Structure formats: C-alpha cells, structure tokens
Amino acid sequence: MLGPAPASGLQGSIVAAGAAAGSTGGGDVASTAGTPATSAAGLDVLRQARDHSAGPWAVSVPPGRSGLERVEESCLAVADGRTGIRGSVEENGAASDPAVLAAGVYEREPDGTERLVEAPAWTALDLAGSPGPGVRVLDLRTGAVFRTVERDGHPLFHSVHWLCLARPGTGVMVAEAAEWIAARLEPGEHLDSVSVPSSLGSVIEVASATQVVPARSEGVGEGSDGGGAALVTRLVGVAAGRRTRTMRDDPTRLVGHARHAGPAELWDEQVAAWARRWDVADVEVVGDEELTRSVRFGLFHMMASVASRGEAAVGARGMTGPAYDGHVFWDADVFVLPFLAATWPRSARAILEYRIRRLPAARAAAARAGLAGARFPWESADDGTDVTPGSGVDEAGRTVPILTGQEEEHIGADVGWAAWQLAAWAGSWRFLDGPGAPLVVEPARYFEHRMAVDADGTAHLRGMIGPDEYHEHVDDNAYTNLMVSWLLRRAAEVGDRRPDAVVPGEPARWRTMARSLVDGYDAGDGTHEQFAGYGGLEDLLVAQIGTPPLAADLVLGRDRLMGSQIIKQADVLMAHLLIPDGIGRGTLASDMDRYLPRTAHGSSLSPAVHAALLARLGRTAEARSLLELATRIDLDDLTGTTAGGLHLATFGGVWQALVTGFAGIRVTGPDDPALVVDPRLPADWSELRIRLQWHGRRLALSCRNDGVHVGTDRLVAVSVGGGTVIAVHPPGRWVPSGRTGGGTGREEAT
C-alpha cells in the first residue's frame, strides 16, 4: 500500500505567475509584503525537505486512493515524544480524522471510559479549489512530512511540517502555493488560543504564529521567477499535561522561542536530533531495501512516541491515532521498552516512571483483593486504576463480558521483566537498587499471596488469562507461571541486595515458591502444556479452518473456539522469547512444533514473536516470511485497523525478531560478562547491520552467519556463535563465529 518515494516526483519548487495574496490567521500574522529574507528562508527549508524525501529512508503515499485517508493519516503521523499530530492533508476533508494527541492526557467520559484528549490539527489551511492530495512522503531520517501536488507536469503546492525532537512541543509548517491556490489561501483554523481541557485536570493548549508572504525568487528552483506564488510559515507551541504550575511549557513561550530561531535553524536542529537517534538505533538488512524501509518505519514511530524525560504513557497506538482510547497495555513494557533500553535508555526509563508513579493505585488494587504487594492493571490510563472495559459486543451482536481486566494478571510479571531489561542493557544495578526495586518486588509479593499451594507442595495460579486470550479462566497458564517463577527469583536477588526493600524471609520464600510453581512441562513429549486441560480440547489446527493470519473467533464462534486448541497468538512461545533462561532447556523446537500449527496470528503481536523464535531455531525461511508479514501490518493495513493508529507493539516485536532472533543477541541481567551474538540469517541476506547500546558502549554490529564485525567506542567483551569471549578495542574488529562450519545452525540449548 505505502511504498518508497518516487525518484522523480519531488523535484523543484512551485512556479507560478501573478500577484501573491496574503492573509491573516493564527496568533501572530505578518503583513503580506513580507521580506525577501523570510521568503528565502522558508523556500530553503522546503527545498531541503524535498531533498530528504526520497530513497530508502522515505515512505510515500501516492495520490488518488479513496477510502484510505485515515490509514494514511496514521502512517504519516509525527511526534516528538510528548505530542503528536496525525498526517492529514492541510485542507482536511470529510474523510479525514485530523488530530493532535498528547501522551497521558486523558478525558473521562460520563460512562467512566477514559480516552485520549484530541486537539485541532495545527496544519490546517483553507485551500479553496483544493489542489488534490498529491504525493505525500514521511522522511524517516528527519521526522518530517513533505507533500507535493502537480497538475499536467506543473507544480502547484508544496508543504512540509514536523514536530521538533530537540524542542518537544514545537511544531513547524512551511507551505508554498501557486497563484490560483494562493489567491484564496487562508491560514485555516485560528490557533492563537486553543485550549482543550479534560475533566481529569489535564489540558492540551496550542498557540501559533502564521505568516503569509509572496514567494520571492531567492532559493526557488532553477527557472522560477517566483511569480504569484505565496509562502505560508507557521510556528506552533503545544503544551499538554496537568493544568498546574508544573505543566512543562507555555505554548506562547514556545512559539516565541521558535520565532527567534526561525524555520531554517529549527530544520537544522531537527536533522541533527534525528541523526543522533538513528546513530544508535538503525537496522539495515543489506540488499533488501524495501524490508529495511519497513523496519525503519516502525523504529521511527517507536522513537517518536516516547519522551526522553519525566514519565511516558505509551498507549498501544502511541500518538498516531485514538484506537484503544490511548490505554497503556503490556505493549509498552514488553515490546516497545526493550528497543529503547538498547538504544535510548532515557526513554525506557520514562516508560518505567509511568509505572512507578502508579504504584499506589497498584497497591490499592491488591489490597482490594485482600492481597499484599501491587497488582498492575491490564489497561491503564490517567492514574493507574484499571480502565479495561467490562463488556463488548461479539460477532453475533451479543454483549459478552471482557475478562482481561480481571484475569490477565501476567502484566505484573511483565512490568518486572521490563525493569530488569533496562538494567540488563545498561549493565548496571543502579535502577533496580533504587526506584526500580518496587517494580520487581511488589508484583512478586502479590503473586506469592495470589497462588495456592496444594497438599503435595505444588503451587498454582488459577483463574487466569494468558497472552492467547481465546481461552479464559484457565488454571496454570504456562506463560504466566513461568514469568511469575522468573520474577520471584529476580525479586529475591533484588531483596538480597536491598534488604530494606523486603520483609525478612521473603527472598527465601520466593525462591521456594518459584521452584514449586508448576510450569506445565510434560517430560513425555518435551513440551509445555499451555494450561491445565489444554491437551483435552478439540485438536484443531489453523490450516483446517483457514489461512493465518485470521480472526478465529469470527470463523469458529466463541463457544467452539474456547473448546478447541486454536490459540490467538504466542503464549508458551512468548515465554521462550522473554525468558530463555527461565524455561526448560532444549524445549523450544518441541513447543514450536506443537503450537505454531495451532496459532491463528489473530493478534498483530504474533507474527514477529514467531519470527524471532524460528530464527533462533535456524528455520530462517519461515522466520523471514513472518517477519515480512509483521512489517506490513500497518503499511498495508492487513488487520483493517490502522485507521485508528499504528501498532507500536508490532514494531517492537519486529526489532526483537531481528536483534534477539536473526542476530541472536542475548541479555540476561546487569552482570552479563559479555555481549552474546549468534547470527542465524537467511541465505540471501548478505548482512544484518544493527546499531545499539550495551553496558554503556555504542555498538555497530555487522552480522553474517560466519561472524560479526563489532564496531565500538569503548572496550567491549563479545562472544559470537558460542565462541570464546573476545575483547574488542575501538574502533572494532571482525569476530568469527564459534559455530562449526558457520552455517545457519540448529536450535541452541535455551
């Protein structure tokens, strides 16, 4: 659906004849006379944006596609970590859903639902006699959206807009229009004093300064005389949060700073800021430009969606759309955070800060259940209380209960795992010894009291929902129990280091409970039973009902589905992805053979998880197919839900598939003595290049099946393909694989 920018579609500036028209609007609008310097600066920004908007870093939307406007708006959304704007055309339209969204700014509806507050899009222009959508391009290197409209080979309209990564809350738009458009050009909705309050005490405030001047010839493309074209420059300030003295920024002040800098300086800052991010986050599949572009598309949106300081409420769709009401799920902790922990730890820390500040609500939820510790909500929004809907409507139009808020309790272990990930990538106990300790200890305390111990000494967690979600109220879900067992051991380690964070005797009890908690392992066939009684359900394979990905609940109906072995997404296999050191050694292959044929991939999370694990097994052709499926879920709107926003967790899963699957990178804890890399690449991938940070080192890895070139800025210890640990000095060296023959290999012992 969306693809690369056309090689010749973004050439030149607007060429038009006649008198330029000026107009007023917004907060601070200049006269129509303008100045040559102002015009030249804006045109120069447009030209530079055009030059960036092509090649393997650009994702384009071709013109003339009716019915896909909202999908395109999601894909072309941009953000600065705190606020975002959907990628609507400037004139909007009946099919558009333009909006400004801010992370963590929620409204409570009369029915108790909490959803993201939406403010007007600050890119609006009144283009009477609309030129048409033209070609629009998201430049992943700069976070800017560029639009060009041509008619009969003549350029009519160009625009570029972005949110400043280096100045969160500051937006810039520059547009150039030919005479027949410019003669009726209006700056659109007046944004000098827009305030959208929330009943929860938060607010989004927008201020802007708009200038309309003749498009002077300085800086215009070759052969242009400037003619009657007009140039619009809009500088925007967006402030969001609690309406208190601590609200981070005043939008008018942000606009003032932006005016002082000017669009050219703001553009240079934007280019530099994104270059710094990509320098530690880029992933490239050498020889496959389209796959690389699709991967970068996801990495860009994850980086744009998470702030680098304070707290980050990362909803399932980020700030790209309103789906799921902006609620925070395990998506943020398990899928998005690992990428940031390995590339931009400050943003990973902000995700965890969101959980830390909501510990009082989690403790209160546990207390209401008569238990100790903290019970994190399945869906979280403003203050950390559970906002999961209590019911929904099924495919037959019946109202059915939604039990995830009551039973999908693995979220507590997921949060603890996320805290451990930050420490593991950093190679430091500092966070876990300090503010992160309760994120591990408090859920462990809750699960200790939540589980039941039978007369034979085995411990159980009953009445649960695992990641599968097609099966409710099950006992001893393997993923949940394995994660909780892992969590109890990690909490004991934290307690050993921080005796003041635990009650005397807790670490010893947690280690005992971890050993006692059943994990569903069957020594007879070498697999983990997904939950107690799963093997007795109707033995149905996905191939018998359709071709995945598919929504099996719509095919089979709710009752038959719950009585079958068909599962929605990785469940047992999810434990293999997250805690390979906490699940039976050598069981990945047998669990894969059992569950993959029964997996409908009814969740966008599922394909990438399986891709990661298939790559670890050396089944690289299957892994690549599922990886490519995952990268296209939003770009091709495979689920029909992209109009509501992009699937950030899918993007995080793609990164994990490439890094922990195909590259075989392992991190287990803060005390890892060496970076472990074990590439398993498809035969037609010449190289997989990954940039990341590990234990404070900035690394550039060029992975092949026979070894890895490790680029580093500091001395680093590396083990490749199970080989001996090698010390790599800056700037780096080639490290051969320790695998005999250097092939793709088979499953390693996990």
Asked if residue 679 lies in contact with residue 688, where contact means CB atoms within 8 angstroms, the answer is yes
Chain centroid, CA 608 distance in Å: 13
Which residues are catalytic, by number? 469
Asked if residue 571 lies in contact with residue 581, where contact means CB atoms within 8 angstroms, the answer is no
For 281, phi then psi, to 5°, come to: -140, -10
The token pair at 246 is 């601590």
- What integer pLDDT is reported at residue 34 of this predicted model? 37
Q: What is the pLDDT of residues 395-423, one digit of tens each?
A: 667 788 999 999 999 999 999 999 999 99
Strand partners, 719: 676
Chain centroid, CA 146 distance in Å: 22
Which of 154, 85, 153 lies closest to 122 in space, CA to CA?
85
Q: What is the pLDDT of residues 272-283, one digit of tens each?
A: 999 999 999 999
Q: What is the DSSP letter of 172?
A: E
For 611, phi then psi, to 5°, come to: -60, -45
Q: What is the pLDDT of residues 55-98, one digit of tens each?
A: 789 999 877 677 788 999 999 999 999 999 999 999 877 788 89
Helical H segments across 156-288, by residue range: 179-182, 251-279
**How many angstroms separate the first and last alpha carbons of the chain?**
38
Q: What is the pLDDT of residues 362-383, one digit of tens each?
A: 999 999 999 999 999 999 999 9
Q: What is the pLDDT of residues 628-669, one digit of tens each?
A: 999 999 999 999 999 999 999 999 999 999 999 999 999 999
Q: How confident is the model at residue 192 (pLDDT cuts 50, 70, 90)?
A: low
Q: What is the pLDDT of residues 89-126, one digit of tens each?
A: 998 777 888 999 999 999 999 888 999 999 999 999 88
- pLDDT over 90 (residue 46): no
**Across 703-715, average pLDDT:** 97
- What integer pLDDT is reported at residue 114 of this predicted model? 95
The token pair at 564 is 């079958």
* Helix, strand, or coil (residue 626): helix
The token pair at 641 is 């839900």
DSSP H or E run through 208: strand 202-214
- What integer pLDDT is reported at residue 10 of this predicted model? 20
* Helix, strand, or coil (residue 550): coil
Task: Please give the radius of gyration of the chain, using alpha carbons only, rounded to the nearest integer.
Answer: 27
Which of 298, 385, 315 lies closest to 102 in space, CA to CA?
315
Convert 283-329 into a string of H (helix), E (strand) and C (coil).
EEEECCHHHHHHHHHHHHHHHHCCCCCCCCCCCCCCCCCCHHHHCEC
Express as a percent the part of the chain with pLDDT over 70: 88
Return d(Cα 563, Cα 570) in angstroms, integer.
Answer: 18
Measured at the CA of 371, the angle between CA 368 and CA 377, to 5 degrees, comes to: 60
Q: Which residues contact 449 (CB under 8 A, 6 or more apart)?
A: 371, 372, 373
